[in-house]
């Protein structure tokens, strides 16, 4: 279980990455952000890697759950996919800093442990999306002339690039409402 301070540190770390990139995530900056001295941080985390691991767990908790929960809802495949996308746009609108971390595998490229973790979350999400598409194809709700695998690359790729662009534009566009239009186009493409 996490203490209040640990949660505070993780939140500050995510914000640091968001605003200054991974190179801005230093223990000094982190300590400053929560208003203590550097060594105090080490009372709450053994080392910096443990902080990054904790960030990844927040990521898993937020993003992966969006996928997992969708999987078992009793609605059509297309509705699942639409809802999935909307949930993502909502989450990132509420917590833009999270998006910076989620789609930046580069951040974790150094530590193999971290890279493994982020890759397993990613491929898990992809598998769920593919299953939903396959289910839709079986119901003749989604086009069958293209492999589910390729459709899931397409959906996930579009989602990621769209969010990355929103980030690079410093959130000037309305991700939720513009996203709705994009989702509309994507579902049209999925139809048989």
Partner DNA sequence: TGGATGTTAGTTAGTATGAACTAACTTTGA
Partner DNA sequence: TCAAAGTTAGTTCATACTAACTAACATCCA
Q: Out of DNA, a second copy, none, which partner does residue 158 contact, by CB within 5 to 8 A per kind?
A: a second copy
In the numeric block, which tokens belong to residue 125?
């999400």
Residue 54, binding choice from DNA, a second copy, none, Cβ under 5 to 8 Å by partner class: none
Out of 28, 73, 171, 176, which residue is the one contacting DNA (CB under 7 A)?
Answer: 28
Residues in the chain: 192
Q: 18 — alpha (psi -120 to 50), left (phi > 0) or beta?
A: alpha
CA dist 66 and 83 (Å) reads 9
Q: Does 142 bind a second copy (CB under 8 A)?
A: no
End-to-end, the C-alpha distance of the chain in Å comes to 47
Rank residues 52 and 77 by Cβ distance to DNA and give the closer one: 52
Q: Are 9 and 51 in contact (CB under 8 A)?
A: yes
| One of 5, 83, 143, 180 touching DNA (CB under 7 A) | 5
Among 12, 25, 54, 114, binds DNA (CB under 7 A): 25
Looking at 23-31, 108-116, 171-179, 180-188, which segment touches DNA (CB under 7 A)?
23-31
**In terms of DSSP H, where are the helices of 76-174?**
77-94, 96-102, 112-138, 148-168
Is residue 62 a contact residue for a second copy (CB under 8 A)?
no
Q: How far is the CB of 120 from DNA (least distance, A)?
A: 23
Which positions ≥6 away from 106 have C-beta within 8 Å? 22
Euclidean distance between CA atoms 47 and 108, whole angstroms: 15
Eight-class DSSP state of 141: S
Q: Site for DNA (CB under 7 A): how many residues? A: 19
By beta-carbon proximity to DNA, the closer residue of 46 and 145 is 46
Closest CB 179 distance from a second copy, rounded Å:
11
- Which residues would be at the binding site for a second copy (CB under 8 A)? 20-23, 104-107, 109-110, 115, 119, 122, 145-147, 150-151, 153-154, 156-162, 164-165, 168, 181-182, 185-186, 188-189
């Amino acid at each position: 279980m996490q203490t209040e301070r640990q949660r505070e540190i993780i939140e500050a770390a995510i914000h640091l990455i968001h605003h200054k990139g991974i190179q801005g995530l230093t223990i000094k900056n982190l300590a400053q952000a929560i208003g203590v001295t550097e060594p105090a941080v080490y009372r709450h985390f053994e080392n910096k890697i443990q902080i990054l691991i904790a960030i990844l767990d927040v990521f898993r908790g937020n993003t992966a759950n969006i996928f997992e929960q969708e999987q078992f809802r009793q609605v059509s495949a297309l509705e699942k996919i639409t809802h999935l996308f909307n949930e993502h746009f909502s989450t990132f609108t509420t917590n833009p800093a999270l998006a910076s971390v989620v789609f930046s595998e580069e951040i974790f490229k150094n530590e193999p442990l971290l890279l493994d973790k982020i890759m397993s979350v990613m491929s898990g999400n992809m598998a769920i999306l593919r299953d939903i598409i396959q289910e839709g194809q079986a119901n003749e709700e989604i086009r069958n002339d293209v492999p589910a695998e390729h459709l899931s690359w397409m959906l996930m790729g579009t989602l990621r690039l769209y969010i990355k662009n929103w980030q690079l534009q410093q959130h000037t566009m309305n991700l939720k409402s513009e996203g709705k239009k994009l989702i509309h186009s994507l579902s049209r493409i999925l139809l048989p």
